[in-house]
Amino acid sequence: MLLSAMATPSGAQDAPLLQAPDVTVTAPRGLTSGAIAPLLQLTPADLESYGVDTLTDLVDALKPMTRSSRSDQTPVVLINGHLAGTVEFDNLPREAIERVEVLPESVALQYGFSENQRVLNFVLREHYRAVPTRLTESGATEGGDRTTAADASLVRLEDEARVTLLGSYWRNAWLRESDRNIEQPNSYDRTLQPDKSETKIAATISRSILGVSSSLESSWDVIDTQALQGAVDLASGGSDSLRQDARQSTARLAAQLTGQLGRFVWGATASYVRIGSNSSGGIGLDETGHLLIDRTDSALNAGNLQFSLSGPVASLPAGLVIANAKVGLAYQGFESEDAYPGNPLSSSNLVRTVRSGSFNASVPIADRGHEVLPALGELSATVNVTLDEVSNIGPLWSQSYGLDWIPISRVHVDAIFTDHRTAPTVQQLLAPPVVTPNVEMYDFVAGQTVFVTNISGGAANLRPTDDKVASIGLALGPFFDKTTFSAHYEQNRIRNAIGLLPPLTPDVELAFPERFIRDADGTLIEVDDRSVNLQSQTQNDLKWGFNAWFPFGSAPPGGSPDRLEFSAFDTWYLRDQVLIRDGIPTLDLLNGAPSDVAGGQPRHRIDLRGVFYKSGFGTVLSGTWRSATSVTSGDPTAQDSLSFSALATMDSRMFVDLARLPATRAHSWAKGMRASLVILNVFDRRQTVVDGTGVTPLAFAPGYLDPPGRTVWITLRKVF
């Protein structure tokens, strides 16, 4: 599985991400004087109890422990104290880890990231050789949604030298409307989920050369998608499906150098990415009854060169001022073509260069150990300033300022303000329009389900986004070894947010009348859903929760201790409003305005997770609960509001390490073998949506809201 979320430095451009997730090491080499004590440290025995296979899975499993009291951002990921490369992060198995260290947000600042993220450092074993292999099969209990996946990798670690090679393939078969008993014309020729496959090859090599840590990585990835959007009767007799085909191929090459220069650590990275995309789709019939095909092609070439220098720049009574300076140059070239039937070939291209520079610093103010204002404990200020000079747009300044305070041991208070300006990506500006017929949606204006022609793609007139965030946080712990509590209140103000149109209401249609086409009867027939700038968005929320760790029993030699882990986090939305355009009423997503197909914004979202491990057997339960919402059209003459029920879902993952079982531990074939059973949406729960008469509109049928429902995954993994 690919890493779904990756951290990028403050002020970095969106396309494409060139650095991997975050991981950190106890004392990033050369960045500080003395070691920065980790907030938490996990051994291989601790990690074994999660039953995960890859570092990607491990980052997700550790999420309750790596939550910052400043934001929900994923941690910064390091491997042996250096920023993790995307490919190497994907290729390394969990068994290659010697220990994991969770470091405070101040360490992220030293790597050029914003100080609202914690850091994860994966320290690798000095000597390790293995060939991990894995086979997975899954399907929905209602039928369909079948997935087959296989991957194998080669991993060799010898001190500072590392080599990895990965090959993977997965395919998810399409799920038709007829598979979920949606009674509509052409339901057999309409897919709820497309047929999708991915093939990937990736390799990395890392070693120390003359005292300089160096790495080179490359990957090639192809994703094919096939969907059905209905059928049409041909003039020649018979019928044909409106098939939508797409392919995206990604080639990536990246290099990284890190070395010591006196008391400073220097780094240099270079990368090149090429993303090619093409699509073709049937959109209807011409006057002679022959099928019309819309074809698009695009290619993105992106290069990035970056240099950084980190280390102590001054000494104050309370300690050292640690700073990071970074300069970079990025190139992005995007070309696209659209061959729409009946129109001349449309071509466009955009070349963008970005010259960037950033400066981050952590300034100590009080320190009990240095006897500087000891009554305050430990207090420091942080600052981050970034300038991106974007061609055709101009300078974009971003900055953040924060205070970090530890009044007493195990009590951590922080406050941070960020103002981040981001240019639209070249894809958001110039992605060719893709026309998809017969897309199901709910028209809140007319109060009915409609099937429209949907147009997606880029929009050339998008403006940069200005995102301001102010937050204050509290973290307590760890207590009883690894039990922690955290909470943070956040105010988020975004101007010119780039996104899709909100669900259709009278106010949305009034703000963007050119985006909606109705027939003579007032029935919606076409929606232009290309990206737009929304005037402003405002959101206030409080996130709080805990992660508790309860070991029990005694650990077997070389094995993981039996334990129980439980976490609960609540996100309480206090305000969520969108102003689409000046002069149009503000949409209040907490009080009647639709947020997405699942209704308005729920007041509460609660995430729960429990881990139980004993003698080679493990169970991980994770659940989410969202409070009920209701949605009105905003038109007093319209139908009654829609009611969206509260929704609670639970996923289960059970695994067994055969080398730990008394019955199989003596057999050589059991060494390194694990069997896993995953059930997603264990109780097959779907949201219930009804109108004022108690009827569920077609657009909110269970098959549309959650096409797969409950799915079962079986995985066999063997490490040779």
Q: What is the DSSP letter of 585?
A: P
pLDDT in tens, 674-716: 999 999 999 999 999 998 888 999 999 999 999 999 999 999 9
For residue 88, the model assigns a pLDDT of 85
What is the predicted pLDDT for the residue at 319? Answer: 92
The SS3 assignment for 399 reads strand
516-541: average pLDDT: 94
**Stretch 30-35: mean pLDDT, rounded?**
40
Q: Strand 673-680 and strand 516-518: pairing?
A: unpaired
Whole-number Cα distances in Å, 364 to 36, 39, 251, 412? 14, 19, 44, 15
- What's the per-residue H, E or C state across 268-299? EEEEEEEEEEEEEEEEEECCCCCEEEEEEEEE
pLDDT of residue 653: 95
Task: Give the span between the Cα atoms of 672 and 406, in whole angstroms.
Answer: 43
Strands 394-406, 411-422: pairing kind: antiparallel
Note the pLDDT of residue 570: 96
pLDDT at 634: 58
pLDDT at 485: 94
When the pLDDT of each residue in the chain is averaged and rounded to a whole number, the result is 88
Q: State residue 111's pLDDT score.
A: 81
Residue 508 above 80 pLDDT? yes
DSSP assignment of 113-146 equals: S-TTS-EEEEEEPSEEEE-EEEEEEEEETTS---
CB-based contact 690:696 (threshold 8 Å) = yes
How crowded is residue 706: how many other Cβ atoms within 10 Å of its Cβ?
18
Q: What are the pLDDT digits (tens) for 242-252?
A: 999 999 999 99
Q: Letter for the amino acid at 341?
A: P
Whether 578 has a pLDDT exceeding 50, the answer reads yes
* Counts of helices then strands in the chain (DSSP H, E): 8, 38
233 pLDDT band, cuts 50/70/90, is confident
Place of tokens 């999708």: 196
Count how many Cα atoms sit within 13 Å of the Cα of residue 14 in the half-sphere of its side chain. Answer: 13
Distance in angstroms (rounded) separating the CA atoms of residues 23 and 12: 18
Q: Which amino acid is at 164?
A: T
Check whether 27 has a pLDDT greater than 50.
Answer: no
| pLDDT given for residue 440 in this prediction | 92
pLDDT at 465 over 90: yes
Distance set, CA 447 to CA 628, 641, 695, 718 (Å): 20, 9, 12, 54
DSSP state, residue 96 = G
Residue 208: pLDDT over 60: yes
Instruction: Report the alpha-carbon distance of residue 475 to residue 415 in Å, rounded.
Output: 12
- Distance, first Cα to last Cα, the chain: 20
Does pLDDT of 16 surpass 50? no
pLDDT over 60 (residue 2): no
For the segment 598-613, the average pLDDT, to the nearest whole number, is: 92
Say what the pLDDT of residue 557 is: 63
Are the C-beta atoms of 437 and 230 separated by less than 8 Å? yes
Q: For residue 18, what pLDDT is reported?
A: 30
- The span from the CA of 206 to the CA of 326, in Å, is 23
Q: Is the dihedral of CA 71, 75, 76, 82 positive or negative?
A: positive
pTM: 0.88
Q: What is the dihedral of CA 365, 368, 369, 373, to 10 degrees?
A: 50
Instruction: Compute φ and ψ for 393, nearest 5 degrees.
Output: -125, -45
pLDDT tens digits for 83-100?
Answer: 888 888 888 899 999 999
CA dihedral (206, 81, 119, 23) in degrees, to 10, reads: 20
Segment 601-620 mean pLDDT: 93
pLDDT in tens, 218-229: 999 999 999 999
> Is the pLDDT confidence value at 253 over 50?
yes
The pLDDT confidence band at residue 116, using thresholds 50, 70 and 90, is: confident
| pLDDT for the residue numbered 22 | 33
- What percent of the chain is predicted at pLDDT more than 70? 93
CB 446 within 8 A of CB 36: no
Do residues 21 and 89 make contact, with C-beta atoms less than 8 angstroms apart?
Answer: yes
SS (H, E, C) 372-398: ECHHHCEEEEEEEEEEEEECCCEEEEE
Confidence band, pLDDT 50/70/90 cuts, at residue 32: very low
